Every structure is written in structure tokens, then in C-alpha cells.
Amino acid sequence: MTEEFADRLNDFTASELFARSFREGMDLVEEAAAYLDGPGREESRALPRSGALAYAGESMRLTTRLMQVASWLLVQRAVREEEMSIEDACDDKYRLGDDAIRKANFAGGQTPETLKTLIERTDKVFDRIRRIDEQIYGETGKKGPSNAVSEHHARLSAAFGK
């Protein structure tokens, strides 16, 4: 852990960008919860079976992405408030999860517009937080920087027993 890294993290958590990102992320969590527990539930009941199944899958992916964003933001706030050490915040378990869960499947136009809008807004927030995470933590994580080619090669090797 370098002093430069600690300064970068502390500067970010004290910034207006962090404050705006935190508010936006938490507001989006509340908005999605209110929608999914109210109007979204009613909209999903009106869908045909295939649409209702797609709705269930998309709402689960939405909440997973939002919980990852909220968790990341809360860790950064804990660092700012000195409730968590910078070293602990660098652990991979506090980084954003797999980006593959972001891919939406709008079930042939049956997905309610409000859900689509929430998903699109969440994708934008998730992408922004991922970029910030990479800028701040880039090479400080316990596993080091991500290398998609190396990771794919390792998975292929494991699959074929090499």
C-alpha cells in the first residue's frame, strides 16, 4: 500500500463525485425496491408466463447489481469515516462482482418500461462505479489487475484438465 494510493482513495471519498455517486446509488436502490414491491409486482402479474419468468430474472439481476453498487459505496464511506482500514477495503471481496450479470434480456418486448429504465440507469451507475473502482484500486487488489485473456486461458485449462 503506497501513500499515493491512500491519498487517491481519501481524495475520492472526500470529493463531490463520491457524494453524488453515493446519493445516486442509494436513491436508485430505494427507487428500485419501491417499484419492485409495488407497481412492478402488479405489472409482472399481468405478463404472460414467459414474460413473468423474464421479469423475475431481470429483477433479480437488477437487485444484484444494485446491491453490489451499494456495498461498494458503503465500503468507501466506511473508509472515509475511518470505520474500515484502507487495507481491508482493498480486499477482493469488497470489489464489484462479475460484470456478466449485467446483460439484460428484455423477453421480446414484454418487459415493463419502468423495469427497463431502472435496468438501464443501474447499468450506467454500475459502469461508472466499476471505472472508479479500477482507477482507485486498479492494481491494489489481492489478486492484482484483471487479465481477461489469462483468466479465460486458465478456465479452459481447468476444463480440459491441463
The CATH number given to whatever domain includes residue 7 is: 1.10.8.930
Overall number of domains in the chain: 1
DSSP conformational letter for 148 = H
- Cα torsion angle, 119, 38, 23, 72, sign: negative
C-alpha atoms less than 13 angstroms from C-alpha of 30 in its C-beta half-sphere: 6
Distance CA 102, CA 47 (A): 23
- Cα torsion angle, 128, 146, 63, 69, sign: negative
C-alpha cell at 16: 463531490
Per-residue pLDDT reduced to its tens digit, 4-16: 888 889 999 999 9
b/e burial code for range 1-37 (CB count within 10 A of at least 16 → b): eeeebeebbeebbeeeebeebbebbbebbeebeebbe
Per-residue pLDDT reduced to its tens digit, 128-162: 999 999 888 875 444 444 445 545 555 655 666 54
SS3 at position 111: coil
Per-residue pLDDT reduced to its tens digit, 62-82: 999 999 999 999 999 999 999
Range of 104's domain?
A: 3-159
pLDDT confidence band for 99 (50 / 70 / 90): low
Nearest to 71 by CA among 142, 126, 149: 126
b/e burial code for range 60-95 (CB count within 10 A of at least 16 → b): ebbeebbebbbbbbbbbbbbbeeebeeeebbeeebb
Query: pTM higher than 0.75, yes or no?
Result: yes
Max alpha carbon distance in the chain (Å)? 57
C-alpha cell at 68: 453490489
Q: At what angle do helices 16-37 and 3-13 cross, to 10 degrees?
A: 60
